[in-house]
Amino acid sequence: MTFSNEIWASISDSAKDLIRKLMTVDLDKRICVEDALLHPWILNMNSIQESENTELDTQAMKQLKNFNIEM
Report yes or no on 36 lying in a domain.
yes
Report yes or no on 2 lying in a domain.
no
Res 54: pLDDT: 59
User: pLDDT per residue over 10-51, tens digit each?
Assistant: 888 999 999 999 999 999 999 998 899 899 998 887 565 445
Domain count across the chain: 1
User: pLDDT per residue over 47-69, tens digit each?
Assistant: 654 455 556 567 777 777 777 66
Domain containing 41 equals 11-70
Report yes or no on 6 lying in a domain.
no
Alpha helices in 1-71 (DSSP H): 13-22, 33-37, 40-43, 54-70
Report yes or no on 4 lying in a domain.
no
Res 50: pLDDT: 46
Which helix (H) or strand (E) segment holds residue 71: the answer is: none
Contacts of 57 (CB under 8 A, 6+ apart): 45, 48, 51
Q: 14 burial class (0-12, 13-18, 19+ CB within 10 angstroms)?
A: middle
Confidence of residue 1 (pLDDT cuts 50, 70, 90): confident
